[in-house]
Chains A and B, each alone.
Chain A
Amino acid sequence: MDTFLFLIFAAIAVGCGVIVVSQRHPIHSAISLIGVMGSLAVLYLLLGAEFIAATQVLVYAGAVMVLFLFVIMLLNAGVEPPGGKSWPVRLLGIPLLVVLLGVVSFLIRGWIPVKETVVFGSFTGGGPRDVGGALFTEYLLPFEIVSVLILVAILGAVVLGGKEID
């Protein structure tokens, strides 16, 4: 069951990821990116990270991607014209990517023993209580700094996106 679920959602994630980078229309990319995020949320659940899975859908799929969609609709961004890529990119891009992936996978397989498996339900420390506990004790300072960062980001977005003063 675990393997089955992992394979399904990993396939969805990779498929949607390919669509994100291969589609020429930004809306198609955005929707497939939501697909990637949704399937990653399921994988987080399989890894026992319940709170992070919910936050993933809430923050990424529900807030960040809505912003993206909004901007795409607002700017009426159309199909991207085929770009004039240089010939080394056309020729070597995809093969080099595959080679890089192969090397990385090989390294991971060598480093993490195969018998180390993920069994659903064996790690239960990812509930809201555990995450909140760690967040407000051990990681309190980063948390506060990040909240200031968010405030700055809001102000920046309002200044940048607001009406131009001229």
Chain B
Amino acid sequence: MNFYLLTVLKTAVVAAALLTTLAYLQWIERKVIAHIQIRMGPYRVGPHGLLQPLADVIKLLTKEDLIPAHVNKFFYMLAPFLAVSLALISIAVIPFGPEIEIGGTRTWMQLTDLNIGILFLLAISSVSVYGIALGGWASNNKYSLLGSLRSAAQMISYELPLGLALAAPLLMAGTLSLREIVYAQSGYWFGMIPKWAVFQMPAPQVIGFLIFLIAAFAETNRLPFDLPEAENELVAGFHTEYSSMKFASFFMAEYANMVTITAVATTVFLGGWMAPFPAEYGSRLVPTAVLGLAGALALYHGFHPLRPRDRRTLPVVGVVFLVLAGVFLLPAVQSWLLPLFWFLAKTGALLFLFIWVRGTLPRFRYDQLMRFGWKFLFPVAVVNLFATALLVALFG
């Protein structure tokens, strides 16, 4: 097939999937936090609030687009655009799976593979400060400016441990291309333990992974590091003056950053699309088992409903899950569905961790955040990098 046509097609698929994920990630977050706090969460729009994202989008699109009189118009308009486009662009280098063949066309499950992939990601994440910094400055509002200054300082400070934590697994993989990083993590120790970077000999990156995760929370401005938009100090931080679609852009950028950074963590530390145990032990059957179990559970609750509405909705959900479970058994699609399943499962687990942490941990104070970043996280990341380099040089 034509190279350009194929690329456009792949981009469209990835973009549509990503945008849907962003909308539903927000629904999942509200649901999970509600359940952590023993509430129900969104429940009115659609069964179990499933259409809530749609309602939110319609609300945000049709709201009045206010431009306050005291703002710097050009930068005020530029900032949300910059934030969201830089947040969405990094997904282009993430590999979702190996090379596959559909209808006689061979293609990689990745938009593009750069031999400077990791550097590209770091460059994009370092530039994405501007969206927030400019938005806060252009709003001409003291809370916005404080929020954006905080966020710029925070993102610069935590980018150092983030980059250093990323460098350690690169030493073992010996490449900057994300696809080759995943291939460097294929195989199993003793036929059981996957050779992911967190388990890789000679220097398992457990500490590096933890540093990366902590820095990722700060980079995405999530709790416990959401100082830039701390409600009780700064109203809403850098996006206080934004409304309608511009606010939605900032909102989307935050979630897109979250998805990207968890996808990077999966790719670099958790072996990308590689299964956690070999196929001989039945890793091929795991998706079917998980989905089948979910389907059976939904069916059971549908036939013994707690609420009258569940009698209609849950059987449908159960049947959908069972059909999906069946699809995973077909050998024709297994070759590309299985890698995708493992990639999404790992990324999803990390995203759940992000939401879980938000529901559990309180916010840091700003001086605590800075002290933690510079006096603890950064030295630990440096030591981790040195130790890895030494071990790789000695035994690698």
Contact = CB atoms under 8 A, between A and B. Distances in A.
Question: Is there a contact between chains A and B in the complex with CB atoms less than 8 Å apart?
Answer: yes
A133 interface: no
A128 B176 contact: yes
A108 B152 CA distance: 42
B120 interface: yes
Nearest to A74: B149
B127 A61 contact: yes
A57 B127 contact: yes
Given A34-B130, A66-B133, A73 B120 contact: no
- Which of B75, B120, B127, B156 has the largest count of A CB atoms less than 10 A from its CB? B127
B313 interface: no
A147 interface: no
A129 to B, nearest CB: 8
B119 A73 contact: no
A16 B236 CA distance: 33
Interface string A115-127: 0000000000001
Interface in A89-145: 127-128
A69 B82 CA distance: 16
A62 B134 contact: no
B325 interface: no
A57 B126 contact: yes
Given A127-B115, A128-B115, A62 B126 contact: yes
Given A57-B123, A57-B127, A66-B152, A127 B116 contact: yes
Contacts of B176: 128
Interface in B72-125: 75, 114-116, 119-120, 122-124
B137 A62 contact: no
A120 to B, nearest CB: 15
B84 to A, nearest CB: 17
B119 A63 contact: no
B152 A70 contact: yes
A27 B116 contact: no
Contact of B123 (A54, A69, A73, A74): A54
Nearest to B122: A58
Contact of A58 (B114, B119, B152): B119
Interface in B155-185: 156, 159, 176
Contacts of A61: 123, 126-127
B145 interface: yes
Contacts of A55: 119
Given A66-B129, A127-B115, A54 B134 contact: no
Contacts of A9: none
Contacts of B159: 62
Contacts of A57: 123-124, 126-127
A73 B145 contact: yes
Contact of A54 (B116, B130, B152, B153): B116
Given A34-B130, A57-B126, A58-B122, A70 B75 contact: no
A31 B116 contact: no
Interface string A35-68: 0000000000000001101110110011100100
Nearest to B149: A73
Contacts of A51: 116, 119
Contact of B149 (A31, A34, A53, A70): A70
B75 A31 contact: yes
Contacts of B134: 31
Nearest to B176: A128
A50 B149 CA distance: 31
A73 B126 contact: no
Interface of B: 75, 114-116, 119-120, 122-124, 126-127, 129-130, 133-134, 137, 145, 148-149, 152-153, 156, 159, 176
30 contacts: A27-B75, A31-B75, A31-B130, A50-B116, A51-B119, A54-B116, A54-B119, A54-B120, A54-B122, A57-B127, A58-B122, A58-B123, A61-B123, A62-B123, A63-B156, A66-B130, A66-B152, A69-B130, A69-B133, A70-B133, A70-B152, A70-B153, A73-B133, A73-B137, A73-B149, A127-B115, A128-B115, A128-B116, A128-B119, A128-B176
Interface of A: 27, 31, 34, 50-51, 53-55, 57-58, 61-63, 66, 69-70, 73-74, 127-128
